[in-house]
Amino acid sequence: MALVPCQVLRVAILLSYCSILCNYKAIEMPSHQTYGGSWKFLTFIDLVIQAVFFGICVLTDLSSLLTRGSGNQEQERQLKKLISLRDWMLAVLAFPVGVFVVAVFWIIYAYDREMIYPKLLDNFIPGWLNHGMHTTVLPFILIEMRTSHHQYPSRSSGLTAICTFSVGYILWVCWVHHVTGMWVYPFLEHIGPGARIIFFGSTTILMNFLYLLGEVLNNYIWDTHRTAKPK
Distance CA 61, CA 137 (A): 21
Distances in whole angstroms, Cα of residue 82 to Cα of each of 118, 128, 195, 200:
40, 33, 42, 33
Give the pLDDT band (50/70/90) at residue 70: low
Picking from 104, 95, 103, 94, the residue whose alpha carbon sits closest to that of residue 55 is 94
Whether the CB-CB separation of 144 and 57 falls below 8 Å is answered with yes
Q: What is the pLDDT of residue 100?
A: 97
| Three-class secondary structure of residue 135 per DSSP | coil
Kindly report, residue by residue over 134-172, the tens digit of the pLDDT.
999 999 999 999 988 899 999 999 999 999 999 999 999
Query: Average pLDDT in the 211-217 region?
Result: 95
Domains of the chain, residue spans: 6-27+41-228
Q: What is the pLDDT of residue 23?
A: 92
pTM over 0.85: yes
Residues listed for the chain = 231
In terms of Cβ atoms closer than 10 Å to its own Cβ (0-12, 13-18, 19+), residue 171 is: exposed
Whether the CB-CB separation of 202 and 87 falls below 8 Å is answered with no
Kindly report, residue by residue over 81-115, the tens digit of the pLDDT.
999 999 999 999 999 999 999 999 999 999 988 88
Q: What is the pLDDT of residue 1?
A: 39
Distance CA 64, CA 62 (A): 5
Query: Average pLDDT in the 204-230 region?
Result: 83
Query: Average pLDDT in the 176-191 region?
Result: 90
DSSP per-residue codes, 10-34:
HHHHHHHHHHHHHHHHHS--GGGGS
Q: What is the pLDDT of residue 91?
A: 96
